[in-house]
Amino acid sequence: MGMFDRIQHADPRIGCTKGHMLGELQTKDLDCDLADYNIRDDGMLWWERGGWKNPRSPRMPPLPAGVSGTLRADTGCETCERAGVGILDAWCEFDLAFEKGRLVSVTRAAAD
Ligand SMILES: [Zn+2]
Protein backbone atom coordinates (compact mmCIF):
# COMPACT_ATOMS: atom_id res chain seq x y z
CA MET A 1 0.00 0.00 0.00
CA GLY A 2 1.46 3.30 -1.07
CA MET A 3 0.40 6.85 -0.99
CA PHE A 4 0.97 8.38 -4.41
CA ASP A 5 3.02 8.20 -7.57
CA ARG A 6 5.39 10.82 -8.93
CA ILE A 7 5.16 12.40 -12.38
CA GLN A 8 8.09 14.24 -13.91
CA HIS A 9 7.40 16.60 -16.79
CA ALA A 10 8.72 19.64 -18.64
CA ASP A 11 5.33 20.99 -19.71
CA PRO A 12 5.23 24.81 -19.54
CA ARG A 13 1.44 24.70 -19.00
CA ILE A 14 2.07 23.17 -15.60
CA GLY A 15 3.01 26.22 -13.59
CA CYS A 16 1.82 28.07 -10.53
CA THR A 17 -0.54 31.04 -10.86
CA LYS A 18 2.48 33.37 -10.79
CA GLY A 19 4.02 31.56 -13.74
CA HIS A 20 6.73 29.62 -11.99
CA MET A 21 7.60 26.33 -13.59
CA LEU A 22 6.64 23.37 -11.43
CA GLY A 23 8.65 20.20 -11.32
CA GLU A 24 7.62 16.85 -10.00
CA LEU A 25 3.92 16.31 -9.47
CA GLN A 26 2.23 13.76 -7.27
CA THR A 27 -0.93 11.86 -8.10
CA LYS A 28 -3.16 9.41 -6.33
CA ASP A 29 -4.93 8.43 -9.52
CA LEU A 30 -2.49 5.74 -10.68
CA ASP A 31 -1.42 2.75 -8.61
CA CYS A 32 -0.24 4.79 -5.60
CA ASP A 33 2.88 2.72 -5.09
CA LEU A 34 5.60 5.38 -5.26
CA ALA A 35 6.42 4.71 -8.87
CA ASP A 36 8.05 7.30 -11.10
CA TYR A 37 6.35 8.38 -14.31
CA ASN A 38 7.50 10.87 -16.90
CA ILE A 39 5.54 12.94 -19.39
CA ARG A 40 7.95 13.07 -22.29
CA ASP A 41 8.26 15.93 -24.75
CA ASP A 42 5.72 14.38 -27.11
CA GLY A 43 3.16 14.26 -24.30
CA MET A 44 3.32 10.52 -23.77
CA LEU A 45 3.19 9.26 -20.20
CA TRP A 46 5.83 6.63 -19.53
CA TRP A 47 6.36 4.49 -16.51
CA GLU A 48 10.02 4.94 -15.63
CA ARG A 49 10.79 2.96 -12.51
CA GLY A 50 9.74 2.00 -9.08
CA GLY A 51 6.55 0.80 -7.63
CA TRP A 52 6.02 -1.96 -5.18
CA LYS A 53 4.02 -4.05 -7.57
CA ASN A 54 5.65 -6.17 -10.22
CA PRO A 55 6.32 -3.61 -12.95
CA ARG A 56 5.66 -6.27 -15.57
CA SER A 57 2.20 -7.04 -14.28
CA PRO A 58 -0.60 -6.53 -16.81
CA ARG A 59 -1.95 -3.67 -14.76
CA MET A 60 1.24 -1.69 -15.16
CA PRO A 61 3.10 -2.33 -18.38
CA PRO A 62 6.62 -0.93 -18.19
CA LEU A 63 6.40 1.51 -21.08
CA PRO A 64 4.36 3.47 -22.01
CA ALA A 65 1.71 3.82 -19.35
CA GLY A 66 -1.11 4.07 -21.89
CA VAL A 67 -3.72 5.53 -19.59
CA SER A 68 -6.88 7.20 -20.83
CA GLY A 69 -8.72 9.48 -18.49
CA THR A 70 -8.00 12.34 -16.17
CA LEU A 71 -5.37 12.32 -13.46
CA ARG A 72 -5.52 14.83 -10.64
CA ALA A 73 -1.95 15.83 -9.84
CA ASP A 74 -0.56 18.38 -7.42
CA THR A 75 2.53 19.94 -5.92
CA GLY A 76 3.64 23.01 -4.04
CA CYS A 77 5.48 25.83 -5.80
CA GLU A 78 8.89 25.92 -4.14
CA THR A 79 9.66 29.33 -5.63
CA CYS A 80 6.56 30.84 -4.04
CA GLU A 81 7.26 29.06 -0.75
CA ARG A 82 10.79 30.47 -0.67
CA ALA A 83 9.31 33.92 -1.30
CA GLY A 84 7.20 33.55 1.83
CA VAL A 85 3.88 32.56 0.31
CA GLY A 86 1.98 30.28 2.65
CA ILE A 87 2.11 26.62 1.80
CA LEU A 88 -1.63 26.49 1.11
CA ASP A 89 -1.42 29.43 -1.28
CA ALA A 90 1.57 27.87 -3.02
CA TRP A 91 -0.30 24.59 -3.60
CA CYS A 92 -1.21 23.83 -7.21
CA GLU A 93 -3.57 21.18 -8.52
CA PHE A 94 -4.10 20.15 -12.10
CA ASP A 95 -6.35 17.83 -14.03
CA LEU A 96 -4.22 16.12 -16.65
CA ALA A 97 -6.31 14.52 -19.38
CA PHE A 98 -4.75 11.61 -21.26
CA GLU A 99 -5.89 9.73 -24.31
CA LYS A 100 -4.11 6.41 -24.82
CA GLY A 101 -1.17 7.66 -22.82
CA ARG A 102 -0.84 11.07 -24.46
CA LEU A 103 -1.46 14.28 -22.53
CA VAL A 104 -4.21 16.16 -24.36
CA SER A 105 -5.08 18.92 -21.90
CA VAL A 106 -3.92 20.56 -18.71
CA THR A 107 -6.54 22.26 -16.57
CA ARG A 108 -5.91 24.04 -13.31
CA ALA A 109 -8.14 22.36 -10.78
CA ALA A 110 -10.56 24.57 -8.92
CA ALA A 111 -9.65 25.17 -5.31
CA ASP A 112 -11.64 23.00 -2.95
ZN1 LIG B 1 5.11 30.03 -7.78
Q: pLDDT tens for residues 61-76?
A: 456 678 899 999 999 9
pLDDT at 32 over 80: yes
Nearest to 25 by CA among 112, 109, 111, 110: 109
List, as ranges, residues with CB under 5 A of the ion ligand 1.
Answer: 16, 18, 20, 77, 79-80
Distance from Cα 9 to the centre of ligand 1, integer Å: 16
Number of domains in the chain: 1
pLDDT interval class at 77 (50, 70, 90): very high
Count of other CB atoms within 10 angstroms of residue 64: 16
Full residue range of the structural domain in which residue 41 is found: 5-110
C-alpha angle 80/86/89, rounded to 5°?
75
pLDDT value at residue 69 = 94
Residue 58 dihedral angles phi and psi, to the nearest 5°: -60, -30
pLDDT at 18 over 70: yes
Q: In percent, how much of the chain has pLDDT > 90?
A: 66
Q: What is the pLDDT of residues 39-52, one digit of tens each?
A: 999 999 998 877 76
pLDDT at 54 over 60: no
Distance from Cα 4 to the centre of ligand 1, integer Å: 22
Distance (Å, whole) CA 104 – CA 102: 6
Residue 80 dihedral angles phi and psi, to the nearest 5°: -65, -40
